[in-house]
Amino acid sequence: MNYQEQNISANNFEDCIKCTICTVYCPVTPFNPNYPGPKQAGPDGERYRLKKPYFYDEALKYCLNCKRCEVACPSNVKIGDIIQSARIKYTKSKPSLRDTMLANTDFVGTMSSAFAPIVNATLKLKPVKVVLDSVLKIDEHRQFPAYSSQKFTTWYKKEAAQKQDRFANHVSYFHGCYVQYNYPQLGKDLVTVMNAVGYGVHLLEKERCCGVAKIANRLVKEATRDANINLASIRKSVADNRVVLGTSSTCTFTMRDEYPHLLHIDNADVRDDIMLATRFLFNLVDEGKVKLVFRKDFHKRVAYHTPCHMEKLGWSVYSTSLLKMIPGLDFVALDSVCCGIAGTYGFKKENYKYSQEIGSALFKQILSERVDAVATDCETCKWQIEMSTGVHVDNPISIVAQALDVEATMKANGVSI
Amino acid sequence: MKYDTIIIGGGMSGLVAGIRLRKAGQKVAIVSAGQSALHFNSGSMSLLGHEQGRDVANPLVAIERLHPGHPYSKLGAETIRKYASEVAPLFAEAGVTLKGSAERNHYRLTPIGMFKPAWLTLEGYASVDDPKSLPWGKVLVVNVAGFVDFYPQFIELGLSKAGLECVSRTFILPGLETLRKSATEMRATNIARVLKDEVVLEMASQINSYLKETGSDTVLMPAILGLYDENPIRLLRSKVVKPIHLVSTMPMSVGGMRAQMSLCKYFQKLGGTYLIGDKVTAGRFEDGSLKAVSTQNLGDMPLEADNFILATGSFFSHGLEANPTSIYEPIFGLDVEASEHRPEWCDMDIYKKQNYMQYGVVNDDDFHVFLQGRRIDNLRAVGAVLSGCNSMKEESGGGVSLMTSLKVADDILNGKGGKK
């Protein structure tokens, strides 16, 4: 007899025992009194919304979808999913022009990359910031990430693509919008590291934005379209025995978990083949399949910050274990707390103040540790930490690339290209 | 990934065992499915508080009279005496101050104004040697206006029954105005984030003026400060002109959270791996041993270890689960000591002895667990998931957790109780 188990509502919301642990790990609650908190916004509110949509509260938009409530919940209630689903289902207003712009990272990226020097210079101008602030409600204090004039895929096709087939093993790379338009260097670093251990890196047949920003801004139709395009390409890659690596914890998390939970797209057949590069690489080393040889002249004190979606994935152990393998790296573990930006959330004028307050404890800890760099797996955490502390932030893969003795590693793995 | 020991459950039992093993040089990982029951802590822990309905004066003596299946009986009074003396120093290393003695219980003040026997009490919480002669004189109970998880009337009633004069006052702090806008989030832990540095000084001066106005000798206030460390409590105590003590609130418990976070930080600082929000889904057993466990997040990359500790707690923490027909251990389906007849699980009179409270996994004298009647040589259970004690009735939960954790960790280090 199994009737209790079969009687659980969506997102386990009936498993909530009202213990309130989620509320003490919510980064928003202590600073924004307009947010009702995860218990109230999540399972408590859901009971009422199921009775009557009238009970939907617009203040749910202050949830930054960090999922730290879900990580803290001892009863496995999908609190964050309940809140995001409610926002998608019950919000009446259409997404604003600003939200649509912020969410379309790939379209805006394509346009901005084409005119990168102009866009970068323009976005720093005070009058432009004032207009963005007053007209679009994008906070004038927020620094925009710089756009790169050469897209990652342009570099890849020119400099890397030809030799990738010559390696014995192969992976695909979901580079994401950030590597593509803002920071191709991270993609280059991944190619360097994977090539050094004998893996060819390939692009997916088609890649669209993972959709996280579109989901957060309720552009569900557009996000679903992109998700289906991505999954079709991922399926082809997996059929070719190529797992799909990402270097962004949020893109990876979105494709693995938000596609089925929020967009209701079944990805079960390929979900386990979508993973972070640090997880894949760590496992290769851990199982003795590859060796990493590090430079003797690399010395850095590096603090690791756990992005919220990394915390939810539960994979920071892979990134930190990789970093700890580097002999010249003095490792500092930061408290796992939200940096406050949450993607497009911290760009919005109504959130900017709270965004900086949420991150303040983290910024203070980073500054007190006197590190050479912060390592983190999320690009928006990088923007937030660099803007708020002035400390340089790198993806763990970039740090591995900097510390790697490429020739010695290739030799140790018998790679000759 | 290969470890020396994997601990399933990241609450007090798991962390204490983890710290012990890590300090001895073992490679240790803890897998914790969500946050722990320490968040509901009263500010105190008990070794043994009640025996057949009566308060225990000396737990070490009373322990010798427990039934043979009780975890304490398996440990023996001498082992318990030894480990009991090691707990406060261990917590102190993690930054948590505990006061008390295993040879003589003290009493903690409950949120409804009663006194209950306790063994160790967190820094700042109200405790007395003997509730029959309270040393407090006239008591001033203060509360923050709008904080609803604390009921001064209960305290007043309890203390007046004990013959004390009692007055109460509320105060308002400008630092809490932002928080106050959201009534549901006016919780102990959120308030505690604000109560530090200058805000504590301001609070102290308000309390001092109430002391002057009412002519009180002692102050009691809800435990709403000291979330990250004990500094705000020390600061307040140094600035208030009379003795001031904290009384536990409705959950979340600020002191319990501080203990959880401090132990967890200390474990990680020692080099331990703490996997929060992850859940062990299955185990690979071979020839009477557990070889590896899989988790929800780590997927196809299992965690291997020489030894495993089950520290998953009782029903509240999902270390045990019940459906309409059975009580079971949900991870591995280990053998459970529980009645097969549902009517025997509980008594409809809530104040009577509840049988389900002493249900737990079957375990041998070294706390090894059993799967389908077969002993698992390298999987031991600690804390509330063990069968044989009714921690609510006995007031023994904290003690059983700590004593069994330390013993099992030491057995693993000494290579004891392995394959038979």
- Confirm whether B252 is domain-assigned: no
**Total count of residues recorded for chain B:** 420
Same domain, B211 and B136: yes
Q: Residues A38-47: pLDDT tens digits?
A: 999 999 999 9
- Residues B315 and B359 both lie in one domain: yes
Mean pLDDT on A121-126: 76
**Same domain, residue pair B235 and B96:** no
Q: Which residue has the higher pLDDT, B203 or A140?
A: B203
Chain-chain contact of A29 with B182 (C-beta, under 8 angstroms): yes
Q: Which of B206, B228, B247 is the last residue of a domain?
A: B247
In a domain, B105, yes or no: no
Q: Which residues of B touch A7 (CB under 8 A)?
A: none
With respect to residue B55, please indicate whether it lies within any of the assigned structural domains: yes
Is B324 within 8 Å of A279 when comparing Cβ atoms?
Answer: no
Say if the Cβ atoms of A40 and B318 lie within 8 Å.
no
CA–CA separation, B26 vs B20, rounded Å?
9
In a shared domain, residues B235 and B297: no
One domain for residues B65 and B168: no
Q: What is the pLDDT of residue B177?
A: 86
**From the list B1, B2, B268, which residue is nearest A333 (CB)?**
B268
Report, as an integer, the average pLDDT of A16-30. 91
Cβ contact (<8 Å) for A1 and B323?
Answer: yes
The confidence score (pLDDT) of residue A4 equals 55
Report the mean per-residue pLDDT for chain A. Answer: 92
Residue of B nearest to A276 (CA): B298
Cβ–Cβ below 8 Å for B1 and A312: no
Among A21, A25, A286, whose Cβ lies nearest the Cβ of B1? A286
Same domain, B394 and B291: yes
- A:B CB pairs within 8 Å: 104
Residues of A in contact with B178 (CB under 8 A): 31, 33
pLDDT band at B107 (very low <50, low <70, confident <90, very high): very high
Q: Which of B193, B216, B247 is the last residue of a domain?
A: B247
In the DSSP assignment, the letter for residue B324 is: S
Average pLDDT value for residue range A256-282? 97
User: What pLDDT sits at residue B3?
Assistant: 97
Q: Residue B88 is part of a domain; what is its CATH number?
A: 3.50.50.60
Q: Tell me which residues of chain B, numbers 338 to 367, contact chain A at a CB-CB cutoff of 8 Å.
A: none
pLDDT tens digits, one per residue of A353-412: 999 999 999 999 999 999 999 999 999 999 999 999 999 999 999 999 999 999 999 999
CB contacts, 8 Å: A76 with chain B: 33-34, 279
Q: Which pair of tokens denotes residue A247?
A: 């270097």
Give the contacts of B207 (CB within 8 A, at least 6 positions apart): B140, B142, B171, B219, B221, B240, B244
- The pLDDT-based confidence of B82 (bands split at 50, 70, 90) is very high
> Which of the residue ranges A15-24, A329-338, B134-143 would you say has the lowest mean pLDDT?
A15-24
Which residues in A lie closer than 8 A to residue B255 (C-beta atoms)?
A: none
> Is residue A273 within 8 Å of residue A244, measured between CB atoms?
yes
Q: What is the four-CA torsion angle of A227, A233, A235, A240, rounded to 10 degrees?
A: -160
Query: Quick one: what percent of chain B has pLDDT higher than 90?
Result: 90
Q: In this structure, are B60 and B200 located in the same domain?
A: no
Chain A contact set for B35 (CB, 8 A): 21, 25, 72-74
**3-state secondary structure (DSSP) of residue A244:** strand
* Cβ distance of B40 and A74 shorter than 8 Å: no
Find the radius of gyration of the CA atoms of chain A.
21
Do residues B122 and B199 make contact, with C-beta atoms less than 8 angstroms apart? no
Note the pLDDT tens digit of each residue in B153-171: 999 999 999 899 999 999 9
Q: Which residues of A36-51 are buried (b: 16+ CB within 10 A; e: fewer)?
A: bbbbbbbbbbbeebee
Answer yes or no: is B281 within a domain.
yes
Mean pLDDT confidence for A231-258: 97
B80 alpha-carbon distance from chain centroid: 18
Considering only CB atoms, A70 lies closest to which of B251, B277, B298, namely B277
Residues B44 and B76 in one domain: yes
Closest partner CB to B178 (pick from A2, A33, A336)? A33
DSSP code, position A255: I
Least Cα separation, residue B147 to chain A (angstroms): 15
Looking at the fold, whether B241 and B270 belong to one and the same domain comes out as no
> Which domains are seen in chain A, by residue range?
5-90 (1.10.1060.10), 300-403 (3.40.50.1860)
pLDDT at A149 over 90: no
Point out the residue among A20, A35, A76 whose CB comes nearest to the CB of B187.
A20
pLDDT, residue A1, reads 47
CA distance B310 to B7: 6
B27 token code pair: 């490679």
pLDDT-based confidence at residue A8 (cuts at 50, 70, 90): low
- Give which of A5, A18, A20 to mutate to test B binding, by max B Cβ within 10 Å: A20
Nearest residue to B14 via CA among B202, B193, B234, B267: B267
Q: Decide if B29 contacts B6 (C-beta within 8 A).
A: yes
Neighbour-count burial for B77-95, b at 16+ CB within 10 Å, e otherwise: beebeebbeebbebbeebb
**Contact: B278, A21; criterion CB under 8 Å:** no
Q: At A5, is the pLDDT very low, low, confident or very high (cuts 50, 70, 90)? A: low
pLDDT of residue A126: 77
Specify if B113 maps to a domain: no
| Domain with B36 in it | 2-100+258-413
User: Model confidence over A99-109: pLDDT tens digits?
Assistant: 887 777 777 77
Of the pLDDT bands very low, low, confident and very high (cuts 50, 70, 90), residue B420 is: very low
Q: Are residues B271 and B378 in the same domain?
A: yes
User: Which residues of A fall below an 8 Å CB-CB distance to B?
Assistant: 1-5, 19-21, 23-25, 29-31, 33-37, 39-40, 70-76, 272, 279, 283, 286, 311-315, 317, 321, 333, 335-336
Q: How many distinct structural domains can be found in chain B?
A: 2
Q: Which distant-in-sequence residues (6+ apart) come within 8 Å of A189 by Cβ?
A: A395, A397, A398, A400, A401, A402
**A74–B34 C-beta distance less than 8 A:** yes
B277 touches chain A (CB under 8 A): yes
By Cβ distance, the residue of A2, A21, A272 closest to B300 is: A272
Which CATH number goes with the domain that contains B190? 3.40.50
- What average pLDDT does this structure show over B85-91? 98
Query: Does A317 contact B273 at a Cβ distance shorter than 8 Å?
Result: yes
**Where a domain ends, among B214, B247, B280?**
B247
How far A396 CA lies from chain B's nearest CA (Å)?
18
* Chain B residue at shortest CA distance from A257: B297
Q: What is the pLDDT of residue B387?
A: 97
Residue B22 lies in a domain: yes
Q: What is the mean pLDDT of chain B?
A: 95
Which structure tokens are listed for A99?
Answer: 């939200």
Identify whether residues B23 and B73 lie together within a single domain: yes
Report yes or no on B111 lying in a domain: no
pLDDT, tens only, B15-73: 999 999 999 999 999 999 999 999 999 999 999 999 998 999 999 999 999 999 999 99
Identify whether B112 is part of a domain. Answer: no
Q: First and final CA of chain B: distance in angstroms? A: 27
Q: What is the mean pLDDT of residues A191-209?
A: 97
Tell whether the model's pLDDT for residue A147 goes beyond 50.
Answer: yes
* Structure confidence at residue B362 as a pLDDT band (50, 70, 90): very high
B298, A37: Cβ pair inside 8 Å?
Answer: no
Arithmetic mean of pLDDT, B270-296: 96
Task: Flag if B297 and A313 touch (Cβ within 8 Å).
Answer: yes
Please check whether residues B405 and B298 belong to one and the same domain.
yes
